[in-house]
Amino acid sequence: MSIILFGLNHRTAPLEVREKMTFPASTLEESLGRLAGSSSLKEGLILSTCNRTEVLGHASDGARDAAGVVRSFLSSERGVPPEELDRYCYRMADREAVHHLFRVAASLDSMVLGEAQILGQVKEAYQAALRAKSIGAVLDPLLRKALGVAKKIRSETGIARHPISVGYAAVTLARTIFEDLSGRKVLLIGAGKMSELAARHLVERGIGSVLVANRSFPRAVELAAKFAGQAVSFDRILEYLEETDIVISSTAAPHFIVRYEEVQKLIRARKSRPIFFIDIAVPRDIEPRVNTIDNVFLYDLDDLTGVVNANRAEREVEAKVAEEIVRQEADAFHAWVRTLDLSPVIVDVRQRLDDLRTSEMERFRSRLSGLTLEQRQAVEEMTDSLMNKILHHPIRALKESARTHAGPDRVLFFREVFGIQKRASGPSPAGEAAPSEAPSAPPDHDDPDAT
């Protein structure tokens, strides 16, 4: 059994590569269907955020180079040459992949250490995989566990105290250009969670007024009302830019919302008054060339990294506690996964001994003919109990061996001792129920809805 992870993030790939790798939410389930349709994978999940695109898979038995299959899938889906993926992507397997996922869900691998948004994004990826029926007996409990570990870390450590967000970093940058934010006017393009967070920080620091433009006007009205601001038409953004000092853009548009030529005209209309763009969208909303225009200041997600790192040191102590929790939980989950490989041989051994027991009962049928029905039932129960007692210690020892590297050798030994041939492996659809001998859930199984 093998868990694989293939992907890139803000540390391994620049923004212009990450934006090419982003999966739009509207087509994510279709992509999951194609991923799970691969003969090399039993299950698959895609986590796609502004800072990372990662594919998690459960490889089919005997599959060769499942990570290579995921690499080809990503290349085909996003139109990026495989050689370019090799330059920016990492690949992990089994315990390392589990450990990484737990760190991601707990925000230990985020640009902003301790930020809360990644937990919701992991949960959304999990729910999309459930709808697409692309996860089952291994990845389903793995994702549930990852969400539970993240919740535990947020409640048992101080990593979430004094929250720092990309929105906070954006406001910090704004104050380097406009020392005093009072009386300034900000335009939010897009009314998602990041825009809302940014607006909250701006209002807390005395921003003069807030305009909100969104393709869904009712949503713009809703967000503007939270800050006593004004909703404006998305189609009239350029007009409102003339009177705006700060622009924070975070839409899901696949193309630029504000282009170079438009900003050139804008800056003339503004009589060269400075304007500050913060583009926290992936793909980007603002054409990067606008940063070459005088009195135009453009910052994107990668530019915010410096601000974020300046605040990171305060959380490092709590992060060490969180890392230890992740390590312990990853070890426990990986040990549980390894016990799943034992299920077929345990089932086969039980079946083999039960067949022998039934055969012997049949062979002695004539000599037992004088027994009453109750006496025959007692003999049946006695032989069944004897079989279970004989198997108790060997099976317990086999399960213990799953926690060590001796597990596969013990499985072979079991099959040899009991004369059992290995089962032919066939296709196993996602969501297939685990055999009754397999552990039903990993240790401390968590409910993701509780997060």
Non-local (6+) Cβ contacts of 307 within 8 A are: 169, 172, 173
Residue in 50, 132, 138, 174 annotated catalytic: 50
Q: What is the CA radius of gyration of the chain?
A: 29
Non-local (6+) Cβ contacts of 7 within 8 A are: 47, 52, 53, 54, 55, 89, 90
- Which of 44, 72, 75, 73 lies closest to 60 in space, CA to CA? 44
Instruction: Give the angle subtended at the CA of 221 by the CAs of 209 and 119, to the nearest 5°.
Output: 90
Q: Are 88 and 21 in contact (CB under 8 A)?
A: no
The position carrying tokens 């992740």 is 326
Question: Angle formed by the axes of helices 193-204 and 117-131, to 10°?
Answer: 160
Q: Are 264 and 292 in contact (CB under 8 A)?
A: no
Alpha carbons 202 and 186: distance in angstroms, whole number: 8
C-beta contacts of 305-312 below 8 A and 24+ residues apart: 305/10, 305/111, 307/169, 307/172, 307/173, 308/111, 308/112, 308/113, 308/164, 308/166, 308/169, 311/164, 312/113
Alpha carbons 294 and 290: distance in angstroms, whole number: 9
Respond yes or no: is residue 89 known to be catalytic: no
- Measured in Å, how far apart are the chain's first and last C-alpha atoms? 29
Instruction: Give the angle subtended at the CA of 381 by the CAs of 376 and 384, to the nearest 5°.
Output: 125
Residue type for position 428: S
* DSSP summary character for residue 440: S
Catalytic residues: 50
